[in-house]
Amino acid sequence: MKKLHHKPIVGCMRWGIWGENFTTSQYEQKINQCLEIGLDIFDHADIYGHYTTEAEFGNALKGNTNLRSQIKIITKCGINMLTPNRPQHAIKSYDTSAAHITKSVEQSLQNFHTDYIDTLLIHRPDILIDVEEVGATITALKKAGKIKSFGVSNFTTSQVALLQKYIPVEHHQVEISVTNLNAFENGILDQCQLEKIEAQSWSPMGNGIFTENTNQHSRILAQADSLSKGYECSVNQILLAFIYAHPSQIVPVIGTTKFERISEAKKAMEIELKREDFYKLWTASTGKEVA
Ligand SMILES: NC(=O)c1ccc[n+]([C@@H]2O[C@H](COP(=O)([O-])OP(=O)(O)OC[C@H]3O[C@@H](n4cnc5c(N)ncnc54)[C@H](OP(=O)(O)O)[C@@H]3O)[C@@H](O)[C@H]2O)c1
């Protein structure tokens, strides 16, 4: 049965000092350009730009409730990063305690000049996670209207199942692409379908595919290039179509900072990759025929 593909989420990890170092007016311009083509969900994390990108994005929203009301903000918490911006951190570590989650959400609300976060994700599975405590904390934050929905990122299926006993997990953001096939086989996408969890893919184009010249990358890019001619589209669109081909209705979180590539990515929603073409890319990725 044919299902409509979801529009991409716009990843903001590279908008600040980890990438383009946009000015406030460039943030505002980029947000508006995305809105003009119907992309209204923006993905953040407290740590992006060593804890600076949320606030920079927020400066573009300051005093502009109209702009805020037109967009949806995803942000994440749970990683304590080593950086001069957080001198109190002695080691990179994870923290999903009630105190940390609550403090992080309050900081994000302040950074974005808003009184609600649309989606909060726990960024990485904290080995010491107390699922009952997380459940109670998220329930309280939802009740207070500070977060609208909740999910996780980079969890295993058993970690999701455990957390689900205490709080509904509505989104799971994991690395999924033609260079990282794990989620297709490790049960994460099965669990998303079973439990009606939205699957989001980070690095959807393939981590390192444009920067590292490995044999795997060369095989994939050659295959994607060949397919792009038949589908009359770009290589980037073929890479996204690979993800869209899966029936779990994966939502790509695209990381490009270039509007032309954002716009092109949105048009990938219209491509229906044929079954054999999916497997041509799969085979190019693994370097061997399926069993
Ligand atoms: N949950 C997590 O743990 C996690 C981890 C990592 C990322 N994320 C989220 O996922 C988002 C996307 O991640 P990502 O940036 O790794 O994803 P991506 O969309 O797979 O990659 C984007 C990168 O590829 C470059 N690129 C795209 N097309 C290209 C081309 N044709 N030629 C050369 N370079 C090209 C872009 O450069 P240009 O900007 O120049 O186009 C950008 O540096 C992030 O912004 C973040 O929001 C989440």
Q: What local confidence, expressed as pLDDT, does residue 4 receive? A: 73
Q: Is the CB of 201 under 6 A from ligand 1?
A: no
User: How many A from CA of 256 to the centre of ligand 1?
Assistant: 5
Instruction: Looking at the CA of residue 153, tell me the nearest atom of ligand 1.
Output: 1
Task: Report the separation in Å between the CA atom of 59 and the middle of ligand 1, taken as the mean of its atom positions.
Answer: 23
Protein residue closest via CA to atom 30 of ligand 1 = 210
d(CA 53, CA 47): 8
Best CA proximity match to 201, nearest among 267, 274, 250: 250
Residues whose CB falls within 8 Å of the CB of residue 232, separated by 6 or more in sequence, listed in order: none
Q: Ligand 1 in contact with 154 (CB < 6 A)? A: yes
Residue 277 forms part of a structural domain? no
In a domain, 224, yes or no: no
Q: Domain range for residue 129?
A: 9-212+248-269
CATH number at residue 51: 3.20.20.100
List the structure tokens of 232.
């009359």
Q: What is the pLDDT of residue 89?
A: 97
Ligand 1 centre distance from Cα of residue 202 (Å)? 8
Does the C-beta of 8 come closer than 6 Å to ligand 1? no
Give residue 3's pLDDT: 64
Q: Does residue 75 fall inside a structural domain?
A: yes
Q: What is the pLDDT along the chain (291 residues), one digit of tens a residue?
A: 566 799 999 999 999 999 999 999 999 999 999 999 999 999 999 999 999 999 999 999 998 999 999 999 999 999 999 999 999 999 999 999 999 999 999 999 999 999 999 999 999 999 999 999 999 999 999 999 999 999 999 999 999 999 999 999 999 999 999 999 999 999 999 999 999 999 999 999 998 999 998 999 999 999 999 999 999 999 999 999 999 999 999 999 999 999 999 999 999 999 999 999 999 999 999 999 999
The reply to whether ligand 1 has any atom less than 6 angstroms from the CB of 43 is yes
Count up the domains in the chain and report the number. Answer: 1
CA distance 134 to 145: 16
**237: Cβ below 6 Å to ligand 1?**
no
Pocket test for ligand 1, best of 54, 73, 79, 210 (most atoms within 8 A of CB): 210
How far is the centre of ligand 1, averaged over its atoms, from the C-alpha of 208 (Å)? 9
Please check whether residue 221 lies inside any domain of the structure.
no
Q: Read off the pTM.
A: 0.97
In this structure, are residues 112 and 57 in contact, taking their beta carbons and an 8 Å threshold? yes
What backbone phi and psi angles, to 5 degrees, belong to 252? -75, 140
Residues 6+ apart with CB under 8 A from 85: 50, 51, 52
Nearest CA to ligand 1 atom 41: 256
Q: Looking at the annotation, which residues are catalytic?
A: 48
Query: How far is it, in rounded angstroms, from Cα 196 to Cα 204?
Result: 21
Atom 12, ligand 1: residue with shortest CA distance: 255
Determine, yes or no, domain membership for 218.
no
| Environment class of 17 (CB within 10 Å of its CB; exposed 0-12, middle 13-18, buried 19+) | middle
Beta strands in the chain (DSSP E): 9-11, 41-43, 72-77, 79-80, 93-94, 117-122, 147-153, 171-175, 198-202, 251-254
CA distances from 15 to 113, 122, 253, 260 (A): 18, 21, 14, 15
Would you say residue 117 lies in a domain? yes
Query: 203 alpha carbon to ligand 1 midpoint, in Å?
Result: 5
User: Strands 41-43 and 79-80, how do they pair?
Assistant: unpaired
Q: Which two tokens stand for residue 168?
A: 């509904």
Please tell me the residue having the least CA distance from ligand 1 atom 45.
Answer: 11
Q: Does 204 contact ligand 1 (Cβ within 6 A)?
A: yes
Residue 291 structure tokens: 């069993």
Cβ pair 265, 256 in contact under 8 A = yes
11 touches ligand 1 (CB under 6 Å): yes
